[in-house]
Structure 1
Amino acid sequence: MNNVNQLKELVQVARDGAEFYEQAFEQVQDSQLRSLFSRMAAAKRELINGLSASIAASGEVVPPGGTLSGALRKVYAQVRATLARDETRAYVAQLEDAEDRLLEHLRRAIREADDPSVLRQLEMYLPRVRDCHDEMRALKQRMAA
């Protein structure tokens, strides 16, 4: 997969995450969780904006939406949360899965990048993506205890 296609895929996966956090923000009442979800969505938007600029600079079109699997995951999570006794816990579990997916895609893109400027850009985003992932994993673990 070439560098631009990797960036496009990352934009789509990050967009899935941002939209999912925005959906969860609308569904939960807890102000701390709403703040967390808003901050996480903003982190995804920052990644989308940065990568989109690189895609556009290469003369390619930035993907306008997320992935099909991301859309299906959001629907699944909403149904699951509706049916769950603890809606918040169900959202957190699915959001942590979304973080796993983004981190996995970013790490793969870093391994496969053959353009040094793309590699530097991806590596620049890695700490923030990892921090978001770790924060959601810790929240999921605290809620399960």
Structure 2
Amino acid sequence: MTNQTVKVDKVTDVIKVLRAGVDFYGEASKAISDQKIKRFFMQMIKTRQMAVKQLQSFAVLEKGEMETGESTAVKIRQSYTKIKAAMTSDKAHTYVDQLEEVEDKTLISLDDAIKASEGYDCHNALLKVRLVIQTCHDDMKALQNATA
């Protein structure tokens, strides 16, 4: 049973990273003025919310409740970015740069969960979410390069 819990904990880790990313993108969209980037951030929020929704059932199966936590590492990066953005003239790039790092973290978390997953349904759901998040990462990387 302990081994199974660890494996589901990987899925809850993904959910925590996704949820913290939703909050970070929301804060970033309020902090910048570029409307095109704001719309992009709002799409990233929607994508992450959908991914959380797709994975929550696996957390509920093991824990008996939905995962409502957020990744501490992402929250620390969010705080760091808020301070850094206050000291720079290019807030948009500062947020884009740090959010691209969150996309990296999300992919790493997904890869860990995929490696540890048991059962076809969970494994398949993680693979589908990873494909979507890979696209988000690639789009964010392109935006990072465009705003540099």
- Aligned counterpart, 1:133: 137
Percent identity over paired residues: 24
Structure 1 residues 26-68: Cα deviation after superposition (integer angstroms, max 9, x where no partner): 1111111111000001111111111112221345333322022
How far does residue 124 in structure 1 lie from its aligned partner after superposition? 1.3
Distance in 2, matches of 1:58 and 1:114, equals 12
- Aligned counterpart, 2:112: 108
Question: Which amino acid in the other structure matches residue 31 of structure 2?
Answer: Q
Say how many residue pairs are matched. 144
How far does residue 85 in structure 1 lie from its aligned partner after superposition? 1.8
Distance in 2, matches of 1:116 and 1:127, equals 17
Provide the TM-score with structure 1 as the length reference.
Answer: 0.92
Distance in 1, matches of 2:116 and 2:55, equals 16
Q: Which runs of 4+ in 1 moved over 3 A?
A: none
Q: Work out which of the residue numbers 82, 86, 104 in structure 1 matches 2:86.
A: 82
Q: What secondary structure sits across from 1:65 in the alignment?
A: coil
- Segments of structure 1 that go 5 or more residues without pairing to the other structure are none
Structure 1 residues 61-105: Cα deviation after superposition (integer angstroms, max 9, x where no partner): 333220222211111010011111211110000010000000111
CA contact (8 A) 1:11 1:51 kept: yes
Larger mean CA deviation between 112-121 and 51-60 belongs to: 51-60
Q: Work out which of the residue numbers 2, 5, 15 in structure 1 matches 2:9.
A: 5
- Segments of structure 2 that go 5 or more residues without pairing to the other structure are none
- Aligned counterpart, 1:57: 61
Provide the TM-score with structure 2 as the length reference.
Answer: 0.91
RMSD value, Cα = 1.4
